[in-house]
């Protein structure tokens, strides 16, 4: 009885504070916060095992606000548990405040593990956290607060399917079924039984509850947290609950109340309160120091596909116990199966659901794992929003895309990654790598292991010959100059498969007495600007060749480096890349068709050097 009163008082405070914060900011989502206030009050007061002074304690439960626009609710809860002050609460959405419009794990916000705000991402991330907990035999639970608009996102259903398949026992989704989306009623409105039926069909337990009845919520949480399987709590709620002019009213999504409205609303809610609570105390669990393990990356002296070298390199890292690998049901193509063979318990088959794969990787790294995730490069486009958000999460993710470019040949354009460089260059803080041979691949996998942020490696389907000795270093941001002389009249910059075409072009030009420099720009981002600028200065003509659309890839990276932030630029640059839609053919036929074969590169240089 008393407890009921306390929960309700706390819920009222969360509503009041959500209104105060958003009114002070002049924007935000108070009504989306209010629908879930009782759900959050009972959770933070009595179920979320969480040490506010040690948010990274491995014994903590995790809370993911998938409906990130309800950030005022989260920040109000953080105030109630003593994480932030009332004054900080009122810095919401201001420049420099860690209380951003949507939650992000920025400095000053250690209680948030991952960024949310692009809908439908919380559950895949929560699944990854659940997998991490299971790997380390941690006692925590993962609570994900989900909106009823975002549940249409397919990524939610990828996570639903994978969570039951992988038998994650500690994942609890709380569906805030408040009936109203941004612009009106949601698809299923208050049809709780239908949501429950969908969850059950996907192998979840479902519990329906009145989301403003704190005792019922408490009972539902008790059932959900028994560890018997993934559970969706379908909570019927009212958007703007507790305030006469907001409750279940359309037209209030994402609107802050003005001062007068806020005053009235706060009065209706019983005024300001400053209750503090302490969530249930978790066990204290230290992250074990990672054993220092010597690992030997593979070396190659014979032709090998870089995708195979990638898989073998992963396998070599398996002794590092925090390394985990995810794949989208193509492990025999990406060769992550080589890792699976040696560390099956740390390999996660995410089936054909690339969003769910990357989301789970974000969740795994949030709990200290070192994930690699791989699929065909073309299909990483499916997960671009997750990669973008991972950067906002300050996540360290290692992505690999195999089967790149027209060089995959017969399968045709649907399977050809031709936009992966453009996509991955435009990710904040990313490294974009494209090794040409097996030894470069192995070294660059080692570099990915060290890179903080998002790194992407493109691998090649075909075998390529060995260009580099095993002991060569391949720092991120570097390049290799493979041909160079004082007589060079042009420079060819390639990466991956086009390095071999560049070398053949150089040979063919040499037969005509035309000497050209050849650079392997294995690090497409950051790119080795200094070497490129020296080459332009020395040779006057740079030809960048890529098995990628002409836009946004290696050629653009080369131009950016040559422009060098406004330094004087003199010379000529030709970009060769794919400019027409490919079809099927052999790899060599298609490279020639696309104008990126050795013959076409040589032609291009002969043309450029011809006196006008």
Of 91-110, binders to a copy of itself (CB under 8 A) are 93-97, 99-102, 104, 106
Nearer to a copy of itself, 181 or 240 (CB): 181
**Shortest separation between residue 357's beta carbon and a copy of itself, angstroms:** 10
Task: Give me 51's structure tokens.
Answer: 């040490």
Bridge partner residues of 145 (DSSP):
65, 174
Q: What single DSSP character describes residue 301?
A: S
Range 201-240, binding a copy of itself (CB under 8 A): 201-202
Could you tell me if 457 and 481 are in contact, meaning their C-beta atoms sit under 8 angstroms apart?
no
| Cα dihedral sign, 142-147-148-154 | negative
x/- binding map, residues 569-608, to a copy of itself, per CB under 8 A? xxxxxxx----xx-xxxx--xx--x----------x---x
* Spatial separation of the C-alpha atoms in residues 11 and 168, rounded to whole Å: 30
Q: Is 203 exposed, middle or buried (0-12, 13-18, 19+ CB in 10 A)?
A: middle
Q: Which of 122, 130, 115, 184 is nearest to 153 (CA)?
A: 122
Range 433-452, binding a copy of itself (CB under 8 A): none
Could you tell me if 113 and 123 are in contact, meaning their C-beta atoms sit under 8 angstroms apart?
no
Nearer to a copy of itself, 41 or 161 (CB): 161
Contact pick of 9, 54, 225, 560 for a copy of itself (by CB under 8 A): 560
**Shortest separation between residue 220's beta carbon and a copy of itself, angstroms:** 21
Range 167-186, binding a copy of itself (CB under 8 A): 181-183, 186
Q: Does the footprint of a copy of itself cover residue 392 (CB under 8 A)?
A: yes
Contact pick of 17, 158, 213, 322 for a copy of itself (by CB under 8 A): 158
Task: Give me 561's structure tokens.
Answer: 């480096």
Q: Does the footprint of a copy of itself cover residue 257 (CB under 8 A)?
A: no
Mark the segment that binds a copy of itself (CB under 8 A) among 33-41, 57-65, 442-450, 541-549.
Answer: 541-549
Mark the segment that binds a copy of itself (CB under 8 A) among 76-84, 89-97, 439-447, 479-487.
Answer: 89-97
Nearer to a copy of itself, 147 or 282 (CB): 147
Q: Does the footprint of a copy of itself cover residue 568 (CB under 8 A)?
A: yes
Q: Does the footprint of a copy of itself cover residue 295 (CB under 8 A)?
A: no
**Shortest separation between residue 87's beta carbon and a copy of itself, angstroms:** 17
Q: Does the footprint of a copy of itself cover residue 197 (CB under 8 A)?
A: yes
Nearer to a copy of itself, 49 or 382 (CB): 382
Q: Which of 262, 335, 342, 202 is nearest to 22 (CA)?
A: 262
Cα 327 to its chain centre, rounded Å, is 14
* Whether 354 is catalytic: yes
Could you tell me if 61 and 46 are in contact, meaning their C-beta atoms sit under 8 angstroms apart?
no
**Shortest separation between residue 305's beta carbon and a copy of itself, angstroms:** 16
**Shortest separation between residue 163's beta carbon and a copy of itself, angstroms:** 12
Q: Does the footprint of a copy of itself cover residue 395 (CB under 8 A)?
A: no
Nearer to a copy of itself, 126 or 279 (CB): 126
Q: Does the footprint of a copy of itself cover residue 28 (CB under 8 A)?
A: yes
Q: Considering all CA atoms of the chain, what is the largest pairwise distance in Å, rounded to the nearest integer? A: 93
Q: Which of 380, 362, 406 is nearest to 587 (CA)?
A: 406
Nearer to a copy of itself, 62 or 591 (CB): 591
How many chain residues interact with a copy of itself (CB under 8 A)?
A: 119
Contact pick of 428, 452, 465, 530 for a copy of itself (by CB under 8 A): 428
**Shortest separation between residue 380's beta carbon and a copy of itself, angstroms:** 9
Q: Does the footprint of a copy of itself cover residue 20 (CB under 8 A)?
A: no
Range 516-535, binding a copy of itself (CB under 8 A): 525
Q: Which secondary-structure segment (H or E) carries 298? A: none
Bridge partner residues of 433 (DSSP):
457, 523
**Shortest separation between residue 164's beta carbon and a copy of itself, angstroms:** 9
Range 322-351, binding a copy of itself (CB under 8 A): 329-333, 337, 351
Looking at 181-247, which runs of residues are DSSP E strands?
205-210, 231-236
Residue 477, C-beta contacts closer than 8 angstroms, at least 6 positions apart: 523, 526, 527, 528
Range 135-154, binding a copy of itself (CB under 8 A): 149-150, 152-154
205 backbone φψ class: left, alpha, beta (φ>0; ψ -120 to 50): beta
Nearer to a copy of itself, 244 or 586 (CB): 586
Burial 423-445 (b: 16+ CB within 10 A, else e): bbbebeebbbbbbbbbbbbbbbb
Mark the segment that binds a copy of itself (CB under 8 A) among 8-16, 287-295, 427-435, 491-499.
Answer: 427-435
Which entry of 208, 349, 354, 419 is annotated as an active-site residue? 354
Q: Does the footprint of a copy of itself cover residue 381 (CB under 8 A)?
A: yes
Q: Does the footprint of a copy of itself cover residue 391 (CB under 8 A)?
A: yes
Q: Does the footprint of a copy of itself cover residue 363 (CB under 8 A)?
A: no
Q: Does the footprint of a copy of itself cover residue 463 (CB under 8 A)?
A: no
Burial 231-252 (b: 16+ CB within 10 A, else e): bbbbbbbbbbbbbeebbbeeeb
Q: What single DSSP character describes residue 147?
A: E
Q: Does the footprint of a copy of itself cover residue 499 (CB under 8 A)?
A: no
**Shortest separation between residue 193's beta carbon and a copy of itself, angstroms:** 10
**Shortest separation between residue 391's beta carbon and a copy of itself, angstroms:** 7
Alpha carbon separation from 372 to 32, 168, 365, 579 (Å, rounded): 35, 20, 10, 31
Strands 490-494 and 541-549, sheet pairing: parallel
- 3-state SS, 341-372, equals HHCHHHEEECCCCHHHHHHHHHHHHHCCCEEE
Q: Does the footprint of a copy of itself cover residue 116 (CB under 8 A)?
A: yes
| Residue given tokens 């009936």 in the structure block | 179
Cα 562 to its chain centre, rounded Å, is 30
Q: Does the footprint of a copy of itself cover residue 611 (CB under 8 A)?
A: no
Rg (CA), the chain: 27
Catalytic residues: 354
């Amino acid at each position: 009885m008393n407890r009921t009163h306390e929960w309700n008082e706390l819920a009222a405070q969360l509503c009041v504070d959500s209104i105060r914060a958003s009114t002070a900011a002049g924007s935000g989502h108070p009504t989306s916060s209010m629908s879930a206030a009782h759900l959050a009050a009972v959770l933070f007061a009595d179920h979320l095992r969480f040490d506010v002074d040690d948010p990274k304690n491995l014994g903590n439960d995790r809370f993911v606000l998938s409906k990130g626009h309800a950030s005022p609710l989260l920040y109000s809860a953080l105030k109630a548990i003593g994480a932030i002050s009332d004054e900080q609460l009122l810095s919401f959405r201001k420049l420099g405040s860690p209380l951003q419009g949507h939650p992000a794990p920025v400095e000053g916000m250690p209680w948030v593990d991952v960024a949310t705000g692009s809908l439908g991402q919380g559950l895949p991330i929560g699944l990854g956290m659940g997998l991490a907990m299971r790997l380390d035999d941690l006692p925590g639970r993962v609570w994900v607060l989900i909106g009823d608009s975002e549940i249409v996102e397919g990524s939610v259903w990828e996570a639903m399917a994978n969570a039951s398949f992988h038998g994650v026992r500690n994942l609890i989704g709380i569906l805030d079924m408040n009936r109203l989306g941004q612009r009106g009623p949601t698809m299923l409105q208050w049809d709780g039984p239908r949501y429950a039926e969908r969850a059950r069909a996907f192998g979840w337990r479902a519990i329906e509850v009145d989301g403003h009845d704190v005792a019922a919520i408490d009972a539902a949480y008790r059932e959900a947290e028994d560890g018997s399987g993934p559970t969706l709590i379908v909570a019927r709620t009212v958007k703007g609950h507790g305030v006469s002019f907001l409750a279940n009213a359309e037209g209030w999504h994402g609107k802050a109340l003005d001062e007068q409205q806020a005053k009235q609303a706060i009065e209706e809610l019983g005024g300001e309160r400053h209750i503090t609570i302490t969530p249930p105390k978790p066990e204290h669990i230290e992250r074990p120091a990672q054993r220092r393990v010597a690992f030997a990356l593979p070396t190659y002296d014979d032709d090998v596909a870089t995708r195979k070298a990638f898989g073998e390199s992963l396998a070599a890292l398996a002794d590092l116990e925090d390394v985990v690998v995810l794949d989208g049901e193509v492990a025999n193509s990406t060769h992550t199966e080589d890792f699976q063979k040696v560390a099956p318990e740390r390999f996660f088959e995410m089936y054909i659901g690339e969003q769910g794969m990357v989301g789970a990787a974000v969740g795994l790294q949030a709990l200290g794992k070192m994930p690699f995730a791989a699929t065909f490069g073309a299909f990483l486009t499916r997960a671009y929003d997750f990669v973008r958000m991972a950067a906002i999460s300050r996540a360290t993710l290692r992505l690999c895309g195999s089967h790149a470019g027209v060089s995959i040949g017969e399968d045709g354009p649907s399977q050809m990654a031709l936009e992966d460089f453009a996509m991955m260059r435009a990710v904040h803080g990313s490294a974009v790598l494209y090794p040409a041979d097996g030894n470069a691949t192995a070294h660059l996998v080692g570099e990915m292991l060290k890179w903080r942020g998002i790194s992407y490696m493109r691998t090649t389907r075909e075998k390529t010959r060995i260009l580099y000795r095993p002991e060569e270093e391949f720092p991120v941001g570097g390049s290799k100059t493979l041909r160079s002389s004082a007589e060079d009249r042009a420079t060819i910059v390639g990466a991956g498969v086009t390095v071999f075409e560049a070398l053949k072009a150089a040979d063919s030009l040499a037969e005509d007495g035309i000497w050209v420099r050849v650079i392997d720009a294995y690090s497409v981002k950051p790119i080795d600007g200094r070497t490129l600028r020296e080459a332009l200065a020395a040779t006057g003509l740079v030809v960048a060749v890529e098995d990628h659309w002409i836009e946004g890839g290696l050629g653009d990276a080369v131009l950016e480096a040559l422009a060098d932030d406004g330094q004087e630029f003199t010379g000529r640059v030709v970009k060769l890349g794919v400019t027409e839609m490919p079809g099927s053919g052999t790899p060599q036929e298609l490279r020639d068709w696309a104008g990126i074969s050795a013959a076409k590169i040589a032609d291009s240089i002969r043309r450029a050097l011809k006196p006008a």
